[in-house]
Amino acid sequence: MEHEHFKIDERNKERYTFKTKKAGPPTPPPEVDRTAHKARLEHLYSSALSESEHVRSSINEDARATGAYLSLNVRKKTISLERFTTKSGVKLMNAVSLNDDENSLTVFLPDKKHNWLSTRLKQYGEEETKKGEPRNKALVNSISDIRLSEVINLFTIAEDREKFDKIPSDLILEVEVWFDTSDIDTADIEKRLLDNRYITAKPIRFKDTVIYLVKASKESLSKLMLYLDNIRELRIYHDPSPLLAGPAIVDQEWTEYIKSQIEDNDDKVRIGIIDSGVENHHPLLIDYLPDERIHNTSAARSARDARNHGTLLAGLSLFGDLTDVIYSQRPLKVISDLTSVKITPGRHETPNNLAFLGAITEDAISLAAEDGAEIMLSATMTDTPPEKGRPTSLSSAIDEILYSDGKANKLLFMSAGNVDGDFDIEDSPYPEYNKRSEVKDPGQSWNAVTVGAYTEKCILDGEYGTGLYAPVAAKGGLSPWSRTSSEWGDVIKPEIVMEGGNAIIQDSSLSDAPDSLNLVSTDSRFNKLGSVNGTSAATALAARLASEVKYANPYISPLTIRALMIHSAEWTDEMRLEFSDNIELMLHTCGYGVPNAKRAIASSDSYVSFYLESEILPFSSGSGSTTLSGMDVISLPWPQDTLMSMGSEKVRMKVTLSYYVQPSPSSVSVQMKRYPSLKLRFDTNNFTESKEDFVNRVGHTGKGKNDPSRWKIGIRRRDKGCIISDYMETTAANISACRYIAVYPEYGWWRNSAELKDVKVKYSLVVSLQTETTEILTEVINRVENEIKNEIRY
């Protein structure tokens, strides 16, 4: 028997006081000769300011920057980076790691604030604290060098600095210029960019940051700091390089057969295809994508699919792999329709060379949403992976529009990107090259669900089935095409894997030549079908599953769809074998695994899911924004008596928490691990812990220790990104006691935003019970119905 998932009543949630854990003491600053260190820093500081005044003196006062950019070498862990931003106007622009011991900080110092450091140095030399230490010791002793910043100090990515340093002065570059706009007018920025003949593209805006694309020579870029205030950082711009599809394989007869198998359903779920466009004249697509839902935000004039990519994804998102349709001999139930927004021009079309792909993607998501699409997919990646998963203007723009001022009303699936194939397969065999091939930008987006690929396709036919070739991946293994985040730490990407096809080794490189190893979908040529593989195909299948979850549960939010899919995912036996059951490695190669469609869609006799759609108020009204003070405690409508009666029978309890963050993509935020606005976490009571003791422990108002050994993935490994999932396997009797779940906040960049003290953060919580033999669905139904009938609050 199947049943819709059980929604937890909001009355089962209570708000409790939450006290922030006190941070441990910073590393003591190094001991130095006080007098000599003060004199040296005073000289360096004065020289840097004098040099700044000299280089700006030749520029008209109204047109030049109103302050100096200084570079400070600062020892790590001895002082908070927040100390380098003051209420008086001094600002930390960026922070770059020089080595294991030091950061290089770029500070913007307004001309009227030259006493910022000189005053502190004077106090350091002449005054002492009550403990007999020099005043400002932590600040002053942490600084080892001060100099006037050069433009290369604004490049926060190591590869960009190396490239910029080597190029000739007259070479024209396209560069992202990131500005801090917390206290300046962007109109003045635009005017100065135009006055200095920089070419600007449509900007991308975040709460306190705006990013412009400028085109200028190295020599001109070197003068940016003379004209413009509040430049956070520079990044060399990279044009996107979309994925391509395979050749056509079948013709009109197959198309007509498939169409005859279609069984339409009412109240369709709309999917937005944000890619290279979709050719809706294909007989299998024409009924699901009318002309009025075909849009274009790319630089190309036409909305047609000149790459034969978006059309292939459209077919997969509607029908799945058409190979399965052809051989299943079952009706094809279609529960979705489409909208298409083209963001990627074809090879012979006008490229997106002067506009941010981030702005184009933002517009595309907005258009798809206006057409009624809650679920969207995009498999357009850039040329290069982000540095260790670092946010970019593109990934941050995606996070911002999905956050949508807290509405969190859209769901986007992004592909992890395919391996490039430009490696020696003998020197870097599968899956080693997958581990070394990092997820491509913008697959590091926190809010989007990044999809990697695995495969069940292992049959070779025709000339490839003669025994001379073998599939690269075993059945159930990571697809040879899939990129991973094995080199990253703070975000788990991809979150899930879907079917993406297999490959063979041909001429010492990967080949998708055997059609039997690929998926089949609608081709951009009329009546044709085409082959497709890799993470693009996997992403389309993920969007299709999301539409099935939404169709079966029409009132759930995008956050809940996201949670249910990831909650249902499991690693295959082959993945566990392939990666030696190393959980950390599996998370960064296969995410949480392959979603189980049945469990994502509905509960069953031995698998029951509960979900809560709610919002948390992390700060108490009037308490200011620096103190986290609110947490939610949810009482679960557990079949407690039944679980107790099951005694030692093994039960799995799984918990998944899904929410969106508002991004702060500057290098300072990344260094301070404050890219997200806020982090949410969950915990359950220990097996022998009362509700009161649990609330006091998690809320830091009482004693008691957590039992982290209960969790299989583990708190340290799971608490990354903005969807976190974990499970425990123990006796039914133990699980019966775990009736309380706390959702609580941790700091992000909102900590310093006083106006956000009353903000609410939406989240979805999914909890499931899986039994080995005992059927518990009927008992849960009865309990929930009685709870509603009697209005009992548990």
Is the pLDDT reported for residue 408 higher than 70? Answer: yes
What residues have CB less than 8 Å from 272, skipping those under 6 apart?
338, 339, 340, 341, 364, 365, 368, 369, 371, 373, 375, 376, 377
Strands 375-378 and 262-275: parallel
Q: Tens digits of per-residue pLDDT, 414-436?
A: 999 999 866 667 778 899 999 99
Q: φ, ψ for residue 539 (rounded to 5)? A: -65, -40
Q: Token pair 């994925």 is at which residue?
A: 243
Mean of pLDDT values over 104-131: 92
Q: Tens digits of per-residue pLDDT, 605-652?
A: 999 999 999 999 888 755 544 678 889 999 998 888 899 999 899 999
Is the pLDDT reported for residue 302 higher than 60? Answer: yes
CATH class of the domain comprising 248-447+463-490+498-555: alpha beta
User: What fold, for 159-237?
Assistant: Alpha-Beta Plaits (3.30.70)
Query: Which residue ranges make up each domain of the chain?
Result: 2-23+605-790, 31-149, 159-237, 248-447+463-490+498-555
**CATH topology agreement for domains 31-149 and 159-237:** yes
Mean of pLDDT values over 281-287: 94
Is the pLDDT reported for residue 238 higher than 60? Answer: no
pLDDT of residue 202: 66
pLDDT of residue 246: 32
Q: Tens digits of per-residue pLDDT, 659-700?
A: 999 998 877 766 667 789 899 999 999 999 999 999 999 988
**Structure confidence at residue 792 as a pLDDT band (50, 70, 90):** very low
pLDDT of residue 22: 64
**Nearest residue to 511 (alpha-carbon basis) of 543, 463, 548:** 463
Both structure tokens of 289: 């994508």
User: What fold, for 31-149?
Assistant: Alpha-Beta Plaits (3.30.70)
Residue of higher predicted confidence among 709 and 446: 446
pLDDT of residue 528: 85
C-beta neighbour count of 70 within 10 angstroms = 25
Is the pLDDT reported for residue 149 higher than 80? Answer: yes
Report the share of the chain in percent with pLDDT over 90. Answer: 51
pLDDT of residue 121: 93
Q: φ, ψ for residue 792 (rounded to 5)? A: -85, 135
pLDDT of residue 422: 64
| Residue 287 contacts residue 318 (beta carbons within 8 Å) | no
pLDDT of residue 249: 42
Q: Tens digits of per-residue pLDDT, 45-66?
A: 999 999 999 999 888 888 888 9
Residue of higher predicted confidence among 36 and 198: 36
Model pTM score: 0.86
Q: What dihedral do alpha carbons 193, 199, 205, 208 form, nearest 10°?
A: -30
pLDDT of residue 589: 96
C-alpha 765/C-alpha 13 separation (Å) is: 12
Report the share of the chain in percent with pLDDT over 70. Answer: 91
SS3 for 31? coil
C-alpha 594/C-alpha 565 separation (Å) is: 9
DSSP H helix total and E strand total for the chain: 24, 33
The 3-class SS string of 442-470 reads CCCCCCCEEEEEEECCCCCCHHHHCCCCC
Q: Tens digits of per-residue pLDDT, 453-505?
A: 999 988 776 677 667 788 899 989 999 999 999 988 778 999 999 999 999 88
| Residue 733 contacts residue 643 (beta carbons within 8 Å) | yes
Mean of pLDDT values over 205-219: 83
pLDDT of residue 766: 98
Mean of pLDDT values over 2-14: 92
pLDDT of residue 512: 80
**Nearest residue to 772 (alpha-carbon basis) of 685, 686, 643, 639:** 643
Is the pLDDT reported for residue 789 higher than 60? Answer: no
**Structure confidence at residue 160 as a pLDDT band (50, 70, 90):** confident
Is the pLDDT reported for residue 508 higher than 80? Answer: no
| Residue 743 contacts residue 765 (beta carbons within 8 Å) | yes
pLDDT of residue 241: 26
